[in-house]
Amino acid sequence: MEIVRKISQARSLAKQWKNSGLSVGFVPTMGYLHQGHLSLVERSAAENDKTIVSIFVNPTQFGPTEDLETYPRDLRADLALCEDAKADLVFCPGADDMYRPGSCTFVEVSGSLTAGLCGASRPDLFRGVATVVTKLFSIALPTRAYFGQKDAQQLAVIKRMVEDLDMDIEIVSCPTVREDDGLAKSSRNSYLTPEQRVAARVVSRAVFEGERLIAAGERDPVKVTASMRKIVEAEPLARIDYIEVVSAQTMEKPEKIDGSILGALAVFVGDTRLIDNFILHV
């Protein structure tokens, strides 16, 4: 497995592979890898000739009061995990390489896809994500890129961006990986104290309840979100940021549940903001 820090090194290897007719799978990450990330790397390795993983805590997607400085980092462990998961190249640039002085170009996906849910509470998030993912795509030259469904809104934004900008890249959506008690795997779970970790169970319990209600025939989004809300509100350590049922395609709120539906929530447990969701086709 190659490990490179420079954009030019990563691009030159990616170009070499593409020019030899090899397919390249790409998994962009912010590091502190867990089984959710590794499931993407393993899938990419199974579906492509070469797999590139990027590890970069992207400053442009954090708001001024968010956890950029404290975001967990462990490059040594990440590299060992990438090797085990059969990555061929890990690209881990520094922030100064990715954003050189004077850099002032951003990619913005506008409209309903980014206006609500995480876009409402984290206004810098999707502009930062779309910009860095565009840059990483232009370095890694992937045939396919792998993203987790846990970040369902991010996935919808990336899919739209790839379509709108005519990028010749297949975006592959992979299922959320969970802990035994249901909590969705996330690098930010490491912030939780043991007491908060127990309290965090309400997040996935709310997801499973929303999913269950719709699968059982409930079609009123207000009733579904009210039941999900009740579960989270019963936990004193949890504070709701949002709980919504929206169209999985447009992220708009429907009058009635129909078609592809995303039920999504963001909940603070202490200072840690956790997200989770379900997607159903009814």
- Rounded to a whole number of angstroms, the minimum distance from the CB of residue 33 to ligand PAF is 10
Cβ 125 vs Cβ 153: under 8 Å:
no
Task: Measure Cα distances from 49 to 22, 88, 132, 174 in Å.
Answer: 6, 9, 24, 19
- Rounded to a whole number of angstroms, the minimum distance from the CB of residue 82 to ligand PAF is 14
Nearer to ligand PAF, 66 or 218 (CB): 66
The strand pair at 170-174 and 50-55 is best described as unpaired
- Catalytic residue check, 281: no
d(CA 210, CA 260): 14
Nearer to ligand PAF, 50 or 127 (CB): 127
- Rounded to a whole number of angstroms, the minimum distance from the CB of residue 240 to ligand PAF is 22
- Rounded to a whole number of angstroms, the minimum distance from the CB of residue 129 to ligand PAF is 5
Residue 271: φ, ψ to 5°:
-95, 0
Nearer to ligand PAF, 28 or 93 (CB): 28
What's the helix, strand, coil split of the chain in %, to 5? 45, 20, 35
- Rounded to a whole number of angstroms, the minimum distance from the CB of residue 128 to ligand PAF is 7
Residues contributing to the site for ligand PAF (CB under 6 A)? 28-30, 58, 61, 129, 132-133, 151, 154
Residue 3 is inside which H or E element, if any? strand 2-4
Cβ 254 vs Cβ 273: under 8 Å:
no
Cβ 193 vs Cβ 216: under 8 Å:
no
Single out the catalytic residue among 33, 37, 93, 243: 37
Nearer to ligand PAF, 60 or 225 (CB): 60
Nearer to ligand PAF, 61 or 176 (CB): 61
Residue with tokens 């199974």: 46
d(CA 120, CA 88): 37
- The residues assigned a catalytic role are 37
